[in-house]
Structure 1
C-alpha cells in the first residue's frame, strides 16, 4: 500500500511543480510585455532628447524696409563741397543766379548748391571777359541757336587766331575730343573736367591732352577758322559733357 501511495504523492507533487512553473513563466512573460512599450519609449526618448535640447539654428533676419521717416539717400555730411566752389547751399525752390549742382550739400535732397555766375575765369588771353560770339554769315554763338535743322548745344567765345587759351578752372585733361558739323567739317579739341564740371573745348590746339592743370594755366592756342569759313568770327566752342548750357559759368 505504501508504494502506490508514494507514487501518487510524487506524481501529485510533480504536477503541482509543473503547474507552478508554467504559471511563473506566464507571469514573467506578461510582465515583459507590459514593460516593453515603456522601455521602447524610453529608448526613443533617449534618442530624441538631444535633438529636443539642441538650440534651433538662427534664421536669417529679413532686412527691414526703410520707413518713410528714414533718409534713403546718403548725401554729404557738410556743405564744404559747395562752399569751396564759391557756392551757397539753399532750397532748390529759391532762384539761383547761376546753376544748381546736386549732391554738394548736406541735409534734404531738395537742398542744393547754387554755383555763382562767372565761376570760370577768362579763356582767351588779352580779353577782359568772356564774350559770346554774335551772329555772322555762318550763324550765332549762343546756346541752342539754330544751325540748319539742328540746335547748337554749345556756346562760342570770341578769341584771336593763334591766341593763348587759358584753363578756366583747375582739373584734369581727359584726352582729345572731336565732332563734325552737318556739312562734314571736323572740329578738334580737348576735354577738361574736375569733380563738378566737365567741358569739351573745341577749335583749339592744346599743349597736352592728359594730366592735371590749374586755373589760369596756358591750355593751348586757338586754331584759325578763316581759312575754311570766310567771314566767320574767330572763336572757341564750349560744350558741356552732359549737353547743358555753360553760359552761367562764363
Structure 2
C-alpha cells in the first residue's frame, strides 16, 4: 500500500511540470516539424525505428537553459559507435520528479545543480553533420516515454 501512495504522489508532482524556455532564440519552445531529414515529434519514423524524443528548435551555437531547477547527472554520449563527433554530446538531468536527457548540447559542467533559466551549455553544430536540418535539442525521457506533455 505504501508503494502505491508514493507512486501516486510522484505522478501528481510530474503532471504539473512544464519546461520553460530551453534555448535562446526560442522563447516558446517551438518544436521541430518536418524537414528533409524527417520530423521531430515523438514516435516519428526513423527508417528501422521510432524517434524516442521530442526535438525543440535551437540554433547552432545558441545557449541552452535549465527548464526548471535541475540536478546535473553527467554526460551523455549520443552515438555509441563514436560517429558524428561534432554533435556527440549531451547531458542527463533530474528535477521536478523527472529524469531526462538533452542531446546535441555541450554542457558547461556535468555535475551540480542549476536553477530555472540558468545556462546549461551550448547547442552543438548540427548543420556540420546534417546540412539543412532544423537544428534542435533532442529531449528524451530516461525511460523513453513521450515528453510532449511537458511542453
Q: TM-score range by the shorter chain?
A: 0.7 to 0.9
Count matched residues: 146
Higher normalized contact order (CA 8 Å, seq sep 6+, divided by chain length)? 2
What residue number does 2:113 align with? 212
Q: Distance in 2 between matches of 1:158 and 1:196?
A: 24
Show structure 1 runs of 5+ residues with no match: 1-71, 77-101, 106-111
| CA RMSD between the two structures | 2.1
Q: Which has the higher strand share?
A: 2
Shift of 1:195: 5.4
Computing the radius of gyration over CA atoms, which structure comes out larger, 1 or 2? Answer: 1
Show structure 2 runs of 5+ residues with no match: none
TM-score (norm 2): 0.87
Q: Distance in 1 between matches of 2:80 and 2:42?
A: 16
Shift of 1:178: 1.4
1:191 corresponds to which of 92, 105, 114: 92
Q: Which has the higher helix share?
A: 1
TM-score (norm 1): 0.54
Q: Distance in 1 between matches of 2:96 and 2:25?
A: 29
Q: Distance in 2 between matches of 1:128 and 1:196?
A: 23
Q: Distance in 1 between matches of 2:91 and 2:141?
A: 12
What residue number does 1:104 align with? 9
2:149 aligns to what SS in structure 1?
Answer: helix
Point out 4+ residue stretches in structure 1 off by more than 2 angstroms.
Answer: 72-76, 179-182, 184-187
